[in-house]
Structure 1
Amino acid sequence: MNLDHPVLSSLLPVVVLIFIGYMAGRARLVRGESVRDLSNLVFLVLTQALLFRTMASSHVAQLDFRPVMQYFLVASVLFFTMLAVYGGNSRASVMALAGIFSNTLMIGVPLVGLAYGQAGQVLLFTLISLHALILLSIATLVLELQVAREAAAQSGDVRSVWRTVGSAVRNAIIHPVPLPILAGIAYSFTGWGLHPVIDKPLLLLGNAFGPVALVLVGITLSQTPVGQQWKTALRLSLVKTVVHPALMAAVGWLLGLRGLQLGVMVLAAALPIGANVFLFSQRYRKEEEMITAAVGVSTAVALVSITVVLALLPLLPT
């Protein structure tokens, strides 16, 4: 086995980190009641640092957004289609997010760098700069609307539609994901840059996000009855790693994407489910076991699907 193959060299570290977490969980090094606290640490501290620093350091005006907007068009259509298929409730929102949210950072950056070089990474960084803002914000807004509606139905408090929408929008904006992204974008327009005293701690915290989140996935996986979840997890993984890139390839080609732009966007769509979806399910306590299993299963499935994508991309008509 050639461990220097681009797909293996990008995905195996993710598998190893999940396995380390799994063994730590099986050895009871982290107790079940501590998982929620670790999840909060990652979601409310490490994620904040990563998102703010990424956006504060970006040069939004200089980025090429045309292929990225087409990527989000495909992702949005797939999200709302899955939302309807899975029942249109708060559980469905988390499932639909898993079908479109890629592990662009831990896996995407090294994989695109190996496959397309620096030019491909610049395009991927453009996608990353908006990936969480757009996809997590859409999911947050939809989920907050559903949670508000479900809570009103259970309590018998039938509030006006506008009050429900207003509450959901407020909760979606004052939220641990969109808030640091919007703050980072606003700061980037000042042109001041980040002083090393601030930048270094943010960098260290942001770098810790991927490894800690994946170890946490492994810990949770050790406490999850995967046997009961594997069929649903496999179906969701196939949507993420097969259906998503196939749609991106078809729609992107029809809308005029070619070459490097099409290749990077399709490869990004083929990536396995990102750890942010796991944290999202933990925060809202929706489909936690299934999403935990799906993150692990999609990473394994991606070993095959990404290899196929890389083989087929050069065959697309120019």
Structure 2
Amino acid sequence: MNQLVVVSLLPVVLLIASGFMAGRAGWIRPVAIKDLSSLVFLLLTPALLFRTMSQVHVEQLDFKPVAAYFLAVIILFGATLLLQGFNRRAAVLALASTFSNTVMIGIALIGLMYGPAGLVTLLTLVSVHSLLLLTSATLVLELAVAREQKQGFADGLGGLAHTPHHPLATVLMAVRNALLHPVPLPIIAGLLFAQTGWAIPAVIDKPLELLANAFGPLALVLVGVMLAHTPVGRHWRPALALAGVKNLLHPLLVFGLCRLLGVGGLPMTVMVVAASLPIGANVFLFSQRYQVAEELITASVAVSTALALLSLTLVLLLVGPAA
């Protein structure tokens, strides 16, 4: 196996494994996961995102690799709906097939492997990732609920007391929720600050740097803790199939489209690695909200995260661990 691949992935594997062992040993209990997640997302993530993007000028951003990434998302999302039918379950499965864990694992992994240059490329994707995917998924799910109720399947909503919104109101609500989030806000704020040409004062920059440096290790340890407390149960077979689509088919599709569109080098590598990341936790929140495939999605997130150790290795052998 390529030695550079092993060297690149080994810190990630060890950090996740240490979190898994800490969870299994009971050192970090399930009740603490929510607080640790809040620490990572509400404090460490904004510090890292703002500090990274505060040194980036808009003309440095390249959205062509992002276009290749989302073209693959559109293909997979649409194909899932065509195969599964237009309903809530299909919409949630489509989101699971395309929504990567770009923050908790992606930012930590890309930062460790490719440094600031790779991080800027990833954050260009992250800046629109949740906005486009979660907005689209919300709209599709609301329309699916309306369709099921119209066809007389309201009783099949599992007791969900839900009144579909007007499509325009749904889109506006989803856009607002995606923007008022600890991920896009510091990215936008950092970009705006960078355009002023100012530098962050040292007395502020140093604490931000320390918080940003803490993000990667703590986020990966938290992934391991969550894996230790996530049941898979009888859903492991369909979960493995869904994880295979997300972890393997998605990056292969992105790789092919990048080649087709003439995207290469570090931007292509980062997009393909981002596509090979496991299913993001937001998918589980959607399955909870719409009360559909909750156990399957829970199992799929766990299986996808565990499978990522293998799929990331294969992807890095395909595109190379460095540009």
Scaled by the length of structure 2, the TM-score of the pair is 0.76
Give the corresponding residue for 1:304. 314
Paired with 1:85 and 1:100, the residues of 2 have a C-alpha distance of: 24
Q: Which moved more, 1:62-71 or 1:219-228?
A: 62-71
Does 183-192 or 299-308 show the bigger shift? Answer: 299-308
Correspondent of 1:134 among 128, 132, 135 = 128
Deviations 1:151-189 (A, max 9, x none): 997435454333333322222222222222222222221
Asked if 2 retains the 8 angstrom alpha-carbon contact of 1:56 and 1:186, the reply is yes
Correspondence for 1:200: 206
1:108 is matched with: 110
Q: Is the 8 A contact 2:15 2:217 kept in 1?
A: yes
1:118 aligns to what? Answer: none
Equivalent residues in 2 for 1:261-276, closer than 5 Å = 264=269, 267-269=272-274, 271-273=276-278
SS at match of 2:314: helix
Identity %: 36
1:290 matched to 2:284: no
Q: Secondary structure at the match of 1:300?
A: helix
Deviation string 1:25-54 (CA, Å, 9 cap, x unpaired) is 112112211212211221222222222222
Q: Does 1:20 align with 2:25?
A: no
What displacement does 1:130 show? 1.0
Aligned to 2:183: 177
Residues 205 and 142 (structure 1 numbering): CA distance in 2 closer, same or farther, change over 3 Å?
Answer: farther
- 2:92 — aligned with what? 91
Q: Distance in 2 between matches of 1:242 and 1:137?
A: 24
The alignment's TM-score, normalised by the length of structure 1, stands at: 0.77
What secondary structure, in the 3-state scheme, does the structure 1 residue paired with 2:169 have?
A: helix
Distance 1:304 1:62, change over 3 A: closer
- Partner of 1:298, secondary structure, is helix
Report the counterpart of residue 154 of structure 2 in structure 1: none
Are the structure 2 counterparts of residues 290 and 238 from structure 1 closer, same or farther at C-alpha, using a change threshold of 3 Å? Answer: closer
Partners of 1:308 and 1:241 lie apart in 2 by 14
Shift of the 232–13 alpha-carbon distance from structure 1 to 2, 3 Å rule, reads farther
Query: What stretches of structure 1 of length at least 5 have no aligned partner?
Result: 114-120, 314-318
Distance 2:199 2:81 in 1: 40
CA contact (8 A) 2:9 2:313 kept: yes
What amino acid sits opposite 1:299 in the alignment? L
User: Can you list the C-alpha shifts for 1:205-232, whole angstroms capped at 9, x where unaligned?
Assistant: 2222222122112112112223545434
* Cα distance change, pair 241–198 in 1 and its aligned pair in 2 (3 A): same
Q: CA deviation at 1:24?
A: 1.0
Kept after mapping to 1: 8 A contact 2:97/2:245: no
Counterpart contact for 1:47–1:209, Cα < 8 Å: yes
Cα distance change, pair 269–46 in 1 and its aligned pair in 2 (3 A):
closer
- 1:137/1:177 contact within 8 Å kept: no
Equivalent residues of 2:239, 2:303 under 8 A apart: yes
Moved more, 290-299 or 138-147: 138-147
RMSD value, Cα: 3.6
Distance 1:292 1:197, change over 3 A: farther
Separation of aligned partners in 2, 1:19 and 1:309: 25
Deviations, residues 63-100 of structure 1 (Å, cap 9, x unaligned):
44434433343344434545665666473365134458
State the match for 1:42 in structure 2.
40
Among 72, 75, 93, the alignment partner of 1:74 is: 72
